Structure 1
């Protein structure tokens, strides 16, 4: 016989950003407890609204399953003394398992006999376990921030106001912080009321009657469908950003979409400013035309029904008007600020107490960027643009608009730079140097923006590593992982002939020159190599098998474009060429014997077999072109050239005894294999491939 179980935790309003993870956590902990408790069950569904977390478990067995467990004890040698009596170790094992020694049996494992005991446990009624189990689930939950209330020591995300806990129709006897579980839930704060839940499975319908859509997926579908219906009715393109939709989803208990308007005069402000103000401050969805231009309308979601929507819309319009008026004022005031005056203000903003001010950082960025531009042999015009972009890339940090909306840094810099008469390429690069801001963001489109972006990110990373700030575990307060990943993405996207070592050396040289290094350069470089190696490995792992990644990474990842080219070429060859395994096997035979070679040059005059000469000549015929292909990140070409060595290698091993009695001949043959092995390793460590 089975019953359904409901567990609802009623709360004061929980921040929307906590609810998704809390809901998932409640479900995971519930499933884990059921499995650990040996209670069979059907589906488990978690629910969440701003005022509740709940889980509904269907088809819960009325009892635990019986358990028969075999436990291994000491070996026979330890369990019995010289007289054949049970030793202290055996008797201690019996006590620990709650059995008598008479119940011991012997079984052989790995050629050794051990004592075993079988423990049988009869399942307990589920009803007797639920109270303690559900309380354990509740008290074990964790949140980014917790609260205490009243005189209670217990902490939770928000004060607990009620608990509904049912096993079928029976109330589960449990209590916490003076709140006793019952069969009563609470509906919408204004539209609903308290309601009795007659049976656990009635939970969703009971709350629906009280104007609460407790199912998160259903609530999201309601929001999205209403937005689409409004867009079709008005002919609008309503920009639904996923993170905003997620937030709104957990701000409402029953969603009703409505729209309002604002004065078209505000459209004189840059579109990004208006959209940011609507999204970040008001949780509004912006409305765009077919060309992606902002229209003077907004869409929002009410936690309630459709009554008096016109009144609600007017209230939202009034609030938005005040917000946009502030934005307009900031925008107009910012344009009175000269770029040179803004730059002087950066001298008073501390970037880090050991790394100086933002002004200091800008000067380092300029020097790093200029050096990188020289290494990339940029044109004189592009180099000048890099210098100017680096000089002014942070000036918008002191503007009122960025102070109010930090996420607009770069956006406002581009707009203000353009209005101040800067070159279009420079203004655009001021925005681009922050890219990529996230894993899903684009890299800078221009070379100028790319160089300054690398310089900015590498300055931060090198500076932090130099003073011992290195990400560990989940701790990464300066987002160094994201910035390192951004550098790798930029180099790859633009196929820059720039090695990571060059980037490291440039940044470290600048830091050492202007402020000195707190740690040794050798230590910092090692940490940087390890750190960026993980970023490159992560990038490769998105498309390639783990063994392919290991093989090419082991041959070096200093040149990002090259290692990616080699990785994809190797993966493609493995997938498309059924005979490639035999090619790799021939390479691995070379590697295995090359390890025994000394440091001598190959002497063709010592070749005693024609197959030696054939392999040597085949190697020399492809060597220069192959190494150039590797150097130029032409992975497919390089691998194809290596493939030409397969038959000569096979012929060599079929007819030549490498470990000859003549030491000179043996050493020469090993030297030949060692030379080939060194070149093979410049492409990949083929021995790491798994078949």
Structure 2
């Protein structure tokens, strides 16, 4: 029988959002642990359900690999005395390695001789090492943890059983009062405790007890069930990937079913129905072939098909109650006006130091108007943007959003249209919250993008200005997501406006307010956005040193910063660029010594000085033209034209000449060229030599 290993952590039901990450952590940590322990294996398979996280290691080696290590000791000059005898330092080193001085050898490292010893580390039996896997389990991390009983261990949910098998033998250890065994547990209601004799039986035994351990197989089961219903009924089930992933991690043995609701509820806005089904009940909505919502929903039961109709009726009853509430709230909301809801905002606190939501609305309105003017939007678009900002939060006071918070913005759009607002205004009310997650959809309209940026910048500046900068995992106002959203919108819209210009609008607004602000809040906000910008650039595959070079001075036009970063990242890998890089970086390194930016051509003594200055004059205007138009490659080409004249300049001139006039003039020439280069990026921050 092959030596297979199984570890299973049985727990109370994990929140669905924890399951995938826990499985990935367990697999990654297991691989790292085995590699560090020098234990070879054939393959590793991980599993997860709401009640278990597990891993199977197939064909594991019976012993660790034996290795030979070379340890370096003191320099020979210290290891031997003048007579060539071993010193106490050498004897102590050898003894510490379990050897004698007779085992020492001399080797040269970078021109200096040292003593070395080679030692053989025999591999231990794997069986002796496996109990250490306990540390892998206790090292798993979750966004929130709990303790239970008198246990000191913090874990996502209480551990109820542990399976640890090496072949047929139980690997002994204990966690939080739970000892390892070879007994696993099936479905909470349909399964039973079952003994496992070999890891290869694991999936089969669980499936016999109504648990599909492989999350991928559970997802396939759900999709197959959905497809079968679609083919049978000739309709289209709307499968949201996030919801599918969540449902997959809510069940151990999925059975797909169809339920119905009264057609009368279809008079409600479709978004209301869909949110009610998806967010509150974890159902998949159903549409006809022409895209109209149908009075059906698709659910997934955690169990088999026994008494499924009873389950269907129970789910229909629950959904009917939710939709009846939604219908009541919707009808009640229509009895009031937008102004009615806006007045109620004056009694709702946004943040203790920042005042009410009504005051926030006024700030966002001011920012929206200024951004629209900076972008030179047409008068009609500016008017719509300002109106959208003025009524942007009215829906927060409606019964519908109070009950279904996920509908904020969506209800704003629906009700605004009901109240005869312009279509562009209504759409912006929904788009102001975009993107709703890291890679979420961005506003599709200019007005929506303006309002979204204004709303997010006001929140970020306001919250950080009163000392609530996010730290660690604490970010209750989701400022990181909002900052990333601002940057993504700037990249998407390609506005001719820098992030710093946008932030200054908010700073000027906040400086007029009588608030107890942090003295250095502006610097904190700049740094906060730089961290987010750096994160987004790294997601695009940009190296950290290139990120620092591009963002050193400011973020600027973020879409252009991305383009420059990509250009430099490509150049960084190009060995033929080495001479150009050396020239430009040499200019930057010397520029700080300049006392003036005024160049006097009459003081030039050599042709190379004249040629460099002439090339600078030729390159300056086209560089600034292309740089202003955010044409990165064309702008950088102008800098590359300076490389040869720069090399000639340094080869034929002593920059730090004895004549102070000549020296200062040459430094001034270096300085004006450095200004051009720094407008593109601080190339001194890039570790160019690593690439060549």
Classify the TM-score, shorter chain.
0.7 to 0.9
Alignment of 1:192-271 (within 5 A): 192-271=191-270
- Structure-2 residue corresponding to 1:167: 166
- Structure-2 residue corresponding to 1:454: 453
> C-alpha separation between the residues in 1 aligned to 2:112 and 2:583?
43
C-alpha contact 1:457 1:487 (8 A) present in aligned 2: yes
Judged with a 3 Å threshold, the aligned counterparts in structure 2 of structure 1 residues 292 and 637 are, in CA distance, closer, same or farther, namely farther
- Structure-1 residue corresponding to 2:462: 463
RMSD: 3.5
- Structure-1 residue corresponding to 2:508: 509
> C-alpha separation between the residues in 1 aligned to 2:679 and 2:252?
60
Alignment of 1:457-496 (within 5 A): 457-496=456-495
Q: Select 1:526's aligned residue among 523, 545, 564.
A: 523
Structure 1 unaligned residues grouped into runs of 5+: none
- Structure-2 residue corresponding to 1:601: 598
> C-alpha separation between the residues in 1 aligned to 2:408 and 2:99?
74
- Structure-2 residue corresponding to 1:41: 41
Q: Secondary structure at the match of 1:295?
A: strand
C-alpha contact 1:562 1:631 (8 A) present in aligned 2: no
Q: Secondary structure at the match of 1:60?
A: coil
Give 1:412 shift: 0.6
Bigger shift: residues 628-637 or 446-455 = 628-637
Give 1:320 shift: 1.4
C-alpha contact 1:143 1:157 (8 A) present in aligned 2: yes
Structure 2 unaligned residues grouped into runs of 5+: none
Judged with a 3 Å threshold, the aligned counterparts in structure 2 of structure 1 residues 506 and 597 are, in CA distance, closer, same or farther, namely closer
Tell whether 2:349 aligns with 1:371. no
Alpha-carbon displacement from aligned partner over 1:280-324 (angstroms, at most 9, x marks no partner): 111111122345432222112122223443343233222211111
Give 1:278 shift: 0.7
Alpha-carbon displacement from aligned partner over 1:234-274 (angstroms, at most 9, x marks no partner): 33322222221122112222222221222222122121211
Q: Select 2:672's aligned residue among 672, 675, 680.
A: 675
Alignment of 1:220-369 (within 5 A): 220-369=219-368
Bigger shift: residues 638-647 or 272-281 = 638-647
> C-alpha separation between the residues in 2 aligned to 1:584 and 1:69?
41
Judged with a 3 Å threshold, the aligned counterparts in structure 2 of structure 1 residues 484 and 139 are, in CA distance, closer, same or farther, namely closer
- Structure-1 residue corresponding to 2:60: 60
Q: TM (normalized to structure 1)?
A: 0.88
- Structure-2 residue corresponding to 1:560: 558
Tell whether 2:5 aligns with 1:5. yes
> C-alpha separation between the residues in 2 aligned to 1:204 and 1:154?
29
Give 1:14 shift: 2.8
- Structure-2 residue corresponding to 1:21: 21
> C-alpha separation between the residues in 1 aligned to 2:112 and 2:132?
41
C-alpha contact 1:104 1:115 (8 A) present in aligned 2: no
Give 1:216 shift: 1.8
Give 1:415 shift: 0.9
> C-alpha separation between the residues in 2 aligned to 1:492 and 1:177?
50
Q: How many residues align?
A: 685
> C-alpha separation between the residues in 2 aligned to 1:271 and 1:65?
62
Alignment of 1:435-446 (within 5 A): 435-446=434-445
Bigger shift: residues 61-70 or 468-477 = 61-70
Q: TM (normalized to structure 2)?
A: 0.87
> C-alpha separation between the residues in 1 aligned to 2:96 and 2:122?
19
Alpha-carbon displacement from aligned partner over 1:555-589 (angstroms, at most 9, x marks no partner): 643333443444455567789x9965555454445
C-alpha contact 2:184 2:196 (8 A) present in aligned 1: yes
> C-alpha separation between the residues in 2 aligned to 1:356 and 1:191?
54
Q: Secondary structure at the match of 1:341?
A: helix
Alpha-carbon displacement from aligned partner over 1:387-406 (angstroms, at most 9, x marks no partner): 22111111111222212222
C-alpha contact 1:148 1:159 (8 A) present in aligned 2: yes
- Structure-1 residue corresponding to 2:682: 685
Q: Secondary structure at the match of 1:190?
A: coil
> C-alpha separation between the residues in 2 aligned to 1:573 and 1:145?
44
> C-alpha separation between the residues in 1 aligned to 2:585 and 2:264?
72
Alpha-carbon displacement from aligned partner over 1:425-445 (angstroms, at most 9, x marks no partner): 211111111122222223322
Judged with a 3 Å threshold, the aligned counterparts in structure 2 of structure 1 residues 634 and 155 are, in CA distance, closer, same or farther, namely closer
Give 1:655 shift: 6.5
> C-alpha separation between the residues in 2 aligned to 1:174 and 1:358?
55
Give 1:417 shift: 1.2
Alpha-carbon displacement from aligned partner over 1:477-519 (angstroms, at most 9, x marks no partner): 2221221222222223222222223222221222222223522
> C-alpha separation between the residues in 1 aligned to 2:683 and 2:148?
62
- Structure-1 residue corresponding to 2:426: 427
Alignment of 1:174-193 (within 5 A): 174-175=173-174, 179-193=178-192
Alpha-carbon displacement from aligned partner over 1:329-380 (angstroms, at most 9, x marks no partner): 1211222232112112212222211111212211211222222233333333
> C-alpha separation between the residues in 1 aligned to 2:641 and 2:136?
63
C-alpha contact 2:66 2:122 (8 A) present in aligned 1: yes
> C-alpha separation between the residues in 1 aligned to 2:266 and 2:20?
35
Alpha-carbon displacement from aligned partner over 1:184-220 (angstroms, at most 9, x marks no partner): 3332333333333232321211222222211222222
> C-alpha separation between the residues in 1 aligned to 2:540 and 2:53?
38
Give 1:463 shift: 1.3
